Chains A and B, each alone.
Chain A
Amino acid sequence: MSLQLEARLPNVLGTKLDKIVGWCRQFSIWPVPFATACCGIELMASACSRFDIARFGAEAMRFSPRQCDLLLVAGRITTKMLPVLQRFYIQMAEPKWVISMGACCSSGGEFDTYAVVQGINQFLPVDVFLPGCPPRPEQIIEGIMTIQRLGLEGRTSTARPLGVVIQPYDVRDKVPDDLKPNEQDWQKPTMVT
């Protein structure tokens, strides 16, 4: 849509319209929770009241590829599921982004077996990787915010997907003191050599 308008309007108006449209798109980004395994539970947790992703406009989780912008792949993708996932991605309308949530879909995770695809980025363009098993809801939110920043900059239909990796989020420093575990009671594990 923006390309057709740019052909008719002077450049300044075209880019401004792009920015407004991009702003609208980014703050109502509807994900599809392609949750195949345990990361789906963490995704549900981040959609619930404590770590609300509705604040970012991502509350409307649609299960149809025609109605969503963001493909949130959460969980292991098996050899049986990957063609389905690819078909799903093709059916999504532009602009679309892909988040690969968790270790299993980013790289196969701990399942280096005959049936688990070792990283969906081999066969699908992925924009944001969220490492973790599962990644914390704060990381999921950081991933969605990254997509928002990408979209605001105008990266709607890039030919090359931007593979951004979100850094792991260490929660231990943010825990209030009364909730911290007591260091004396906690026994350090003995390493087996």
Chain B
Amino acid sequence: MNSNHPTIEQLYQKFGEQCARSENHAAGMQVVIIPKSRLLDVMRFLHDDGACAYEQLTDVVGIDYLGYPQARKRFALVYPLISVIYNRRLIVKVYLAEDDLTVPSLSGIYRGAEWPEREAAEMFGFVFTEHPDLRRLLLCDLFKGKHPLRKDYPLRGQGERDNFRIVTRKTV
């Protein structure tokens, strides 16, 4: 795994070679794939270590690989990180199987992960443990128990958008 990104070397030194796989994203960004069991440790290291210093987590992105020919696990979570001091970006990716969607929450390390994790949880069905407040963020009550951004959810919904009372001029 030949890469110029200094963080990869630091990760390998700290956690060993087996924990992380790195690959180059098409846009030139560095992606690090780590197993779910190591997620909290790696994130804490990336945040706290002086040489890495990734202060900012920009988003929590969920991916559904249903229908992908080469996919082994169905879901993935992507965490793009920014180090402002060193002017670097890193993308951390975790693959999740369909029957095990419990992920440790990063809101203890990165405060900015609270709301994106709420959105990923309601849209895909991830369960973030130790999250301070895992309520629905964007969707309304009609979508309770449903996860619209999964690939097997119909684009037009299951009738939520037609299910309202009709207000006429005589309604008070």
Residues of A within 8 A of B (CB): 78-80, 82-83, 86, 89-90, 112-118, 122-125, 157-159, 161
Residue of B nearest to A118 (CB): B161
Chain B residue numbers with a CB within 8 Å of A112 are 155-156
| CB pair A79 B167 closer than 8 Å | no
Chain A residue numbers with a CB within 8 Å of B138 are 80
Q: Which 9 A-B pairs have the closest CB atoms?
A: A114-B157, A80-B140, A86-B167, A123-B164, A114-B148, A117-B161, A79-B161, A79-B140, A124-B167
Bound: A123/B171 CA distance, A: 12
| CB pair B139 A83 closer than 8 Å | no
Chain A residue numbers with a CB within 8 Å of B161 are 79, 114-118
Residue B166, interface by CB 8 Å? yes
| CB pair A125 B168 closer than 8 Å | yes
Residue B26, interface by CB 8 Å? no
In the complex, the number of residue pairs spanning A and B with C-beta atoms less than 8 Å apart equals 58
Question: Chain A CB within 10 Å — which of B142, B158, B167, B172 has the most?
Answer: B167
Q: A79-B140, A90-B172 are in contact. Are A114 and B155 (CB under 8 A)?
A: yes
Chain A residue numbers with a CB within 8 Å of B164 are 82-83, 86, 117, 122-123
Chain A residue numbers with a CB within 8 Å of B171 are 90
Chain B residue numbers with a CB within 8 Å of A161 are 169
| CB pair B139 A115 closer than 8 Å | yes
Q: Mark B122-164, 1 if CB is under 8 A from A, else 0.
A: 0000000000000000111011000010000111111011101
Q: What's the minimum C-beta distance from A127 to chain B, rounded to whole angstroms?
A: 10
Question: Chain A CB within 10 Å — which of B154, B160, B164 has the most?
Answer: B164
Chain A residue numbers with a CB within 8 Å of B172 are 90
Bound: A122/B159 CA distance, A: 14
Of A115, A122, A125, the residue contacting B169 (CB under 8 A) is A125
Ordered by A's residue number, 15 sampled pairs between the chains whose C-beta atoms are within 8 Å are A79-B142, A82-B164, A83-B164, A90-B167, A112-B156, A113-B156, A113-B157, A114-B158, A114-B161, A115-B160, A117-B161, A122-B166, A123-B166, A123-B167, A157-B169
| CB pair A79 B160 closer than 8 Å | yes
Residue B25, interface by CB 8 Å? no
| CB pair B170 A114 closer than 8 Å | no
Q: A86-B167, A123-B166 are in contact. List 4 more A-B contacts (CB 8 A).
A: A90-B167, A90-B172, A118-B162, A161-B169
